Structure 1
Amino acid sequence: MVEEQSYEAWREVLSSKGFIHGKNTAQVEQKLAARLGVRHAICCANGTDALVMGLMAAGIGKDDWVAVPNLTFWASAEAPAILGCNIVLIDVGADLHLDFDALKAAAKAHPLKACVLANLFGWASTALADIRAFCTTEGIALIEDGAQSFGVAVDGRPVYANAQVSTLSFYPAKVIGGCMDGGAVMTNDDELAKRLRSIANHGRAEHYSYAHVGMNSRMAELNAAYLTRLLDHADTILDGRREAFAAYQARLSDVPGLTFHGVPAGQTGNGYLTMLTHDTLSGDDMVAKLKARGIFCGRVYPETMDMQPPGKAWTRFGDLSRSRALSRALFSLPLYYGIEPAAVQHVCDTLIDVLKTEGNA
């Protein structure tokens, strides 16, 4: 979409030798802040670093207790683990996101200092406002992992707009993906923003003067040159993804035995992923049967956090039964910007035929 524009921008970067902290990174930050409804967007090297930076800026460190959903991408738990935190794994609710009641109960059982709330799959937690209010009241730092949430809105506002700290990933497979790894941290707090910028650059205050123990996490200017141009096409990308998502949902929502997990009421999704479950067939079963028919599909998070070797040592709150069941059942159909309506139709026809053949539809 922006290849030719990017080639010219890359030549300019290579000629100038300004490989970090250049004008393209500044443009990305300005465009993000305006689009996401925040005062500050701080670019960094990747989405995982963004989470670590957010936790560090909130004062979270070794031996602090941090709540993390048991069904999420590994980085949501990896970030507090890197900092030596005590991780408490929380089950998810019917919306596939962190269970608010379980979080409240966990806060009574453990001295939580922070919570990583992952807004996944292309929509946000249905308890987002409640979780934000609860964490504010209880003095729990809330870090919102928005790696998959670009374009998501709640009650008409970008999901990032009212967050204390939120993060974004520009991994190439994301809705807005870079030409290499990249990330950003967003906040409306001026002091937090100042701290985040310092942390991303070794904790620097002035040249060779350091106010914090930080990290080296800066966005490559070549990546920023690509991203600042791609962001200009964000609406087109989002519209295409949403149209494909809506087409899948319209065709598959009433198929017997199949659950199409849609965007909650009051939200605008971004068409990142289709998330489906079947009453009797596992996610692995569905993927195998569809692949046998030539349909490439996938399974995100086939194992929960507590099933991963490092996660076995973390604290489990409750039996985590819903997240474990979902990890076995969830599967996703092809969805990307540019997918043709005929391709969506073919995938749906094939899926329905597979279920009929199995006697499940």
Structure 2
Amino acid sequence: MQFIDLKSQYAALKPEIDAAIQRVLDHGQYILGPEVAQLEAALAERVGAAHCVTVASGTEALLIALMTLGIGPGDEVITTPFSFAATAEVIVLLGATPVFVDVEPDTALIDASLIEAAVTPRTKAIMPVSLYGQVADMAAINTIAAQRGLAVIEDAAQSFGATLHGRASCALSTWGCTSFFPSKPLGCYGDGGAMFTDDAELAKAAREIRIHGQSARYVHTRVGVGGRMDTLQCAVLLAKLPRLDWELARRAELGDRYAQRLAGLPLELLAVRPGRQCVWAQYTVMVDDRARLQQVLAEAGIPTAVHYPRPLHRQPVYESQAVGASCPVADRLADRVLSLPMSADLTLADQDRVAASLARALRS
């Protein structure tokens, strides 16, 4: 069994993906070819944002977003410790300081009620993470940001396709940044990412920063990075887009089936708040005795993963740089979260096998 079944997805789209790649090979415009602009237009329309800027990865998206806002040494960015390292590393790379705010125990999302107390005169932005396919409390976060004159950058690496009261993730704040890493709800065949904003000036800055700060060829008006998304990867995503609605519906179905089949077992399910549509980038539960359960499931041929085993405020590189590092809920979740196989192409038979094996392991 595959933890994320990308082979079945490719088999279903093989003619379209192969043809898209071949078109790029034929025209030979591997950097900023026509597929880049085509994808940006399609994604902006889908999300409902005025501007989409494709970039080399989800990490580059976060980094460039911070750069467009002029964030640097002496500044603070409020974020969550319960995320992949990229969330914090882009802040530190620019010389700013991550200020970690604890998370909600039932969603693992940043606890918006704790953000206000973390704001200082040095705070320049809030970076919530939309984890496991569900967005954070963006309404409350945006309210705080508006009152304090702060920017909001949604780290939506795991939530492309999710919604909050009908509005799409990535179009809920100053910047929405997502990842097209192969395992994501919409994934390419390498690294890739995108940024979304309604601010034309910020979009212009991002486009220049991603090509080494150039406003024209060899005219460098900003400090930039090599942050372009490859034409080939854009072509892959264009081929995948027509199937995305089916995949998101399938993820919703599988998420509901997991909840039904795991009900009554000695574990906790993640809560999905009212008004939110979760795309289940991972299907994650909270359990005790995780190591034993993983071993039992592995022996049954069922792969699992842990997202994430050590929160960022406990990572050696960030312990000395973080502010607000008392995050007991994140610490507790790191010991208990367990991700089960999940992708749009997970078969119902395999899902039932996962649920039955987990039930036996919990009762043994």
- TM-score tier after normalising by the smaller chain length: over 0.9
Conserved 8 A contact 1:90-1:320: yes
TM-score by length of 1: 0.94
String of CA shifts for 1:255-274, please: whole Å, max 9, x gaps: 2x311113221111112211
Conserved 8 A contact 2:176-2:196: yes
Residue in structure 1 matched with residue 62 of structure 2 by the alignment: 51
SS in 1 for 2:119: helix
Q: CA deviation at 1:318?
A: 5.5
String of CA shifts for 1:31-83, please: whole Å, max 9, x gaps: 11011111111001000000000001111112311112111111010111111
Conserved 8 A contact 1:287-1:299: no
What is the total number of aligned residue pairs between the two structures? 352
Q: After TM superposition, what 4+ stretches of structure 1 lie above 3 angstroms from structure 2?
A: none
Residue in structure 2 matched with residue 161 of structure 1 by the alignment: 171
SS in 2 for 1:246: helix
Residue in structure 1 matched with residue 114 of structure 2 by the alignment: 102
TM-score by length of 2: 0.93
Residue in structure 2 matched with residue 174 of structure 1 by the alignment: 184
- Alpha-carbon distance change, 262 to 273 in structure 1, aligned in 2, over 3 angstroms: farther
**Which among 292, 305, 314 is matched to residue 312 of structure 2?**
305
- Alpha-carbon distance change, 345 to 20 in structure 1, aligned in 2, over 3 angstroms: same
Conserved 8 A contact 1:205-1:211: yes
Q: For 1:151 and 1:68, how far apart are their aligned partners in 2? A: 22
Opposite residue 16 of structure 2, the aligned amino acid is Q
- Alpha-carbon distance change, 316 to 65 in structure 1, aligned in 2, over 3 angstroms: closer
**Which among 328, 331, 341 is matched to residue 338 of structure 2?**
331
Residue in structure 2 matched with residue 213 of structure 1 by the alignment: 223
Counterpart check, 1:20 vs 2:20: no
- Structure 1 residues 335-350: aligned runs within 5 Å: 335-350=342-357
Counterpart check, 1:68 vs 2:68: no
Q: For 1:12 and 1:223, how far apart are their aligned partners in 2? A: 12
Conserved 8 A contact 1:260-1:274: no
Residue in structure 2 matched with residue 258 of structure 1 by the alignment: 267
Q: For 2:227 and 2:185, how far apart are their aligned partners in 1? A: 22
Conserved 8 A contact 1:69-1:89: yes
- Alpha-carbon distance change, 316 to 86 in structure 1, aligned in 2, over 3 angstroms: closer
- Structure 1 residues 1-361: aligned runs within 5 Å: 1-94=12-105, 95-108=107-120, 111-125=122-136, 127-255=137-265, 257-278=266-287, 281-317=288-324, 319-357=326-364
Conserved 8 A contact 1:13-1:19: yes
Conserved 8 A contact 1:44-1:200: yes
Q: CA deviation at 1:130?
A: 0.7
SS in 2 for 1:332: strand
SS in 1 for 2:110: coil
SS in 2 for 1:2: helix
String of CA shifts for 1:332-359, please: whole Å, max 9, x gaps: 11111211111111111111111222xx
String of CA shifts for 1:125-168, please: whole Å, max 9, x gaps: 1x220101111211222111001111101111212223110101
SS in 2 for 1:275: strand
Q: For 2:234 and 2:191, how far apart are their aligned partners in 1? A: 10
Residue in structure 1 matched with residue 6 of structure 2 by the alignment: none
Q: For 1:285 and 1:103, how far apart are their aligned partners in 2? A: 36
Structure 2 segments unaligned to the other structure (5+ residues): 1-11
Conserved 8 A contact 1:282-1:330: no
Q: CA deviation at 1:254?
A: 2.6
Structure 1 segments unaligned to the other structure (5+ residues): none
Conserved 8 A contact 1:300-1:330: yes
Q: For 2:325 and 2:346, how far apart are their aligned partners in 1? A: 41
**Superposition CA RMSD, Å:** 1.4
Conserved 8 A contact 2:154-2:172: no
Q: For 2:296 and 2:207, how far apart are their aligned partners in 1? A: 48
Conserved 8 A contact 1:65-1:86: yes
String of CA shifts for 1:172-214, please: whole Å, max 9, x gaps: 1111110110000100111111111111111111222122111
